[in-house]
Amino acid sequence: MVTIQTADDATESAGATATAFGISYAITSILSALLVIWKESSESVHNALTAITGHHWVTHGVLDVIIFVVLGLVLSRMGGGIRMTGNGLIATVVGATIISGLIIAGYFL
Amino acid sequence: MSNEIILMLHPTFGVLAIIASVWVFVETLNAREVNVGRIRNVGVLAAVLMWLAYIVGGYWYVVFYGADKAIINAGPWPFAHSFFMETKEHVFLMLLLLTTFLAIAVQGEVAKVKAARDLVLWVSGLVVLMGLAMEGAGAFISMGVKVALLAKPV
């Protein structure tokens, strides 16, 4: 027998781990988009990123992955978990994706 | 020859990741206890395939793309690099994290909790749309090289 939870769908959560990593994704994607502008606008930042791994894009990717994983783990282990509704989390993830994409595409347009 | 195979593996893994994400989306529309295991497995598969697309494409980009970049910039479609490649290489990092997040989101109570199910639907849908955008951008980059080579005097 399938049980679908229907009690107050608007306030239910998608789960503590999903919420933590969803927020982490949103923050990381915005930071990543801002790093694009920063490194493309500043030769010293670009060179610093290149110096770390040999290529600015590789360093950028490694930083993104580290921030996403560490932030997700920290948020998921906070006492009681992050309180956010499923709809709020979806809006955060989708909104961050659209804003980050527009920042990046807009910069190179 | 091996360089070209590396280049072809990148969109191949990308397309497979898109197909896996479509699979997750459709299975999640009909999420039940009997298929929740499959949703979780295919969600993880989508992330693994996207990581393979990233590693293979990234290797090619870092090691071999410089020559193509010079060809594109000397040709009639310099925007194939200045807009499409620059945007693609950075938006792809978001797509990689989003697909990794999909693998995490599918571990939730997708069959029982509407919020968990809606989240997987939105994330898998976004992965599909962004993946298709990456494929399209890749087509512009390839065409940028092609039109540059065709424009060269014989």
How many other CB atoms are found less than 10 A from the CB of residue A108?
17
- State how far residue B55 is from chain A, nearest Cα, in angstroms: 10
**A2-6, A32-36, A59-63, B4-8 — which is least confidently predicted?**
A2-6
Query: Any chain A CB within 8 A of the CB of B113?
Result: yes
Identify the CA nearest to A10 among candidates A81, A80, A84, A75: A84
Residue A92, both tokens: 């955060």
β-bridge partners, A5: B113
Tell me the backbone φ, ψ of residue A5, rounded to 5 degrees. Answer: -75, 120
pLDDT: is B3 or B31 the higher one?
B31
Q: From CA B78, how far away is CA B85, in angstroms rounded?
A: 10
pLDDT, average across residues B78-101: 97
Cα of first residue to Cα of last residue in chain B, in angstroms, is: 24
Q: From CA B95, how far away is CA B87, in angstroms rounded?
A: 12
Query: Any chain B CB within 8 A of the CB of A49?
Result: no
Per the CB < 8 A criterion, the answer to whether A85 and A10 are in contact is yes
Decide: helix, strand or coil at residue A5: strand
pLDDT, average across residues A15-34: 96
Report whether pLDDT(A41) > 70.
yes
pLDDT band at B1 (very low <50, low <70, confident <90, very high): low
Do the chains contact at B119 and A17, CB–CB below 8 Å? no
For residue range A71-84, list pLDDT tens digits in order. Answer: 999 999 886 667 88
Residue A25, both tokens: 């994704």
pLDDT band at A1 (very low <50, low <70, confident <90, very high): very low
- State how far residue B40 is from chain A, nearest Cα, in angstroms: 13
The predicted pLDDT at position B86 comes to 96
ipTM associated with this complex: 0.92
Cα of first residue to Cα of last residue in chain A, in angstroms, is: 53
Sign of CA dihedral B7, B124, B39, B35: negative
For residue range A56-75, list pLDDT tens digits in order. Answer: 999 999 999 999 999 999 99
Q: From CA A49, how far away is CA B42, in angstroms rounded?
A: 35
Partner residue opposite A9 with nearest CB, options B62, B105, B114: B114
Report whether pLDDT(A3) > 50.
no
The predicted pLDDT at position A103 comes to 97
Identify the CA nearest to B51 among candidates B118, B119, B101: B101
Report whether pLDDT(A4) > 90.
no
pLDDT, average across residues B82-97: 97
For residue range B35-83, list pLDDT tens digits in order. Answer: 999 999 999 999 999 999 999 999 999 999 999 999 999 999 999 999 9
Report whether pLDDT(A18) > 60.
yes
Letter for the amino acid at B35?
N
Identify the CA nearest to B122 among candidates A79, A74, A92, A62: A92
Q: What is the pTM of this model?
A: 0.92
- State how far residue B131 is from chain A, nearest Cα, in angstroms: 13
For residue range B99-147, list pLDDT tens digits in order. Answer: 999 999 999 999 999 999 999 999 999 999 999 999 999 999 999 999 9
